[in-house]
Amino acid sequence: MGLFKWISLALLAFIGYVAYEVLFKVPPLPHIPDTYWGKGRPRPDDVAIYPFTINVTDSVLNDLKTRIRSTNTLTPPLEGVGFEYGFNSDYLKVVLDYWANNYNWRKFEAAFNKFPQFKTQISGLNIHFIRVTPKVPATIKVYPLLILHGWPGSVKEFQGIIPLLTTPRKDKDFVFEVIAPSLPGYGWSDAAVRPGLGAAQMGLVMKKLMARLGHAQFYVQGGDWGAFIAANMATLYPENVKGLHSNLCVAHTALATLKHLVGAIYPPLVVEEKYAHRMYPVSKVVDFMLMETGYFHIQVTKPDTVGVGLTDSPAGLAAYIIEKFITWTHDDYTFLSRGPNGAVISDRVRLEDVLDDVTIYWVTQTITSSVRMYAETQNKTQTLLGLMRIPTHVPTGCINFPHELAYQSEFILKQKFPRLIQMTHPARGGHFAALEEPQLLADDIFEFLSKVKVVEREEEELRRVEEEIKREEEKRARKPTSPSLY
């Protein structure tokens, strides 16, 4: 064999090896160390669970109104421009006027304090959470459900869905106990004082919270960052997470990208025709992501810099956060000058609801610690954990709202979620599903759990049969053989 052939074979072998490593090799499951994220030297957590009530002082609220009314003159928007250049300053004037003169924080506070709220120390951090345990007859089963928000959301998003999840339904023999925490660094939960608390590490904090509440096994649901944390938990702790439900299912792997690109040549290879517009043409998807992810690069690289301005200026904070509630609830809202009307963000979200969320960030002073989540998760250390490349082997349900930022077909998602037992496509809704469409999301979660229970019964029956076969084989092995007559 000539030198050229040897070189060619070696090159092909190398390419094959690289392709295997990049596209198909599944890394080992990483160990997430139990890190102490609180102030000072590590010490045992206070394991007590303390009742908590939101009670913002009048001085904080009065200072907020003073700052809003002292906002400098805003630069007028360009003629004929909606939100293409960012938050439209004409609409911002409407928002600020409503916030200063009509918005009522005490109304939100009173309504939200009807939920039982608590704090407990996990890994050195005081974690705030809502825990609603329904009072139901013994014939109704109660399953623990951990629900996780993202950015720029908060536990406010769950105000409408918690009653739907904790109220029995005529056609179901179960209901949920809902645990809805503020993520570390968000709302009334402490922020880490040292680097490293990313989505994988938050998953461990959340698992420890559920254990503190007496739930060794539970179900988890998430959107935005909550979806990534929930998926990480299901991947890392399948013995604890019995089912994963997500309204942002994604598979961020080289193989998923390759499948997506192959589909650009012939979409039916990877996606049903009626959903192909969500993925193709690729140029449209890329253009949208480039237009809508400027914030992402800033928060991955310099979260503390942007945090300074947002911590000091309520006008800046409102513009930065509410822009996402406008453009992420419906693609077309980018091109509106004032939203559908002054007091409405979308046809499903009121300005008052979004100002509840913005005010939470202001009164807790957590915008900087919240955006650090991006830097702590999108980095080399987190990528090397390989969690995106490790299949999640728990029953999974994905709900794909039509105006969600990203979409992947079932064919692509099954690489990451091989036990994808439910994939739904509601007719309306966007990125903030729990806030926009609580009924649709709650219905989907109930249906998912019904399917999970069927799967669990089938698996239990299979284990029973296998154990019976094993016992029979052991009995036959122990049974003495008759002596031979010859």
- Active-site positions read 224, 374, 431
CA atoms within 13 A on the CB side of 85: 12
How far lies 267's CA from each of 111, 250, 277, 410, in Å?
48, 18, 9, 13
Q: Which residues contact 66 (CB under 8 A, 6 or more apart)?
A: none
One-letter amino acid of 127: I
Backbone angles phi, psi at 344, to 5 degrees: -130, 130
What are residue 341's DSSP bridge partners?
344
Structure tokens at 266: 């012939």
Backbone angles phi, psi at 22, to 5 degrees: -80, -40
Q: Give the span between the Cα atoms of 401 and 399, in whole angstroms.
A: 6
Backbone angles phi, psi at 341, to 5 degrees: -160, 175
The residue written with tokens 């439209």 in the block is 88
Cβ distance 186 to 366 under 8 Å? yes
- Alpha-carbon dihedral sign for residues 140, 141, 142, 145: negative
- Alpha-carbon dihedral sign for residues 236, 202, 386, 254: positive
Instruction: With H, G, I as helix, E, B as strand and everything else as coil, classify residue 270.
Output: coil
Backbone angles phi, psi at 51, to 5 degrees: -60, 150
Whose CA is closest to 226, among 184, 177, 256, 289? Answer: 184
Cβ distance 99 to 92 under 8 Å? no
One-letter amino acid of 391: P
Q: Give the span between the Cα atoms of 146 and 211, in whole angstroms.
A: 12
DSSP 202-242: HHHHHHHHHHHTT-SSEEEEE-THHHHHHHHHHHH-TTTEE
Cβ distance 413 to 251 under 8 Å? yes
CA 71 from chain centre, in angstroms, equals: 34
Q: Are strands 420-424 and 218-222 parallel, antiparallel or unpaired?
A: unpaired
Instruction: With H, G, I as helix, E, B as strand and everything else as coil, classify residue 340.
Output: coil
Burial classification of residue 126, based on how many CB atoms lie within 10 Å of its CB (0-12 exposed, 13-18 middle, 19 or more buried): middle
Burial classification of residue 328, based on how many CB atoms lie within 10 Å of its CB (0-12 exposed, 13-18 middle, 19 or more buried): buried
Cβ distance 247 to 401 under 8 Å? yes
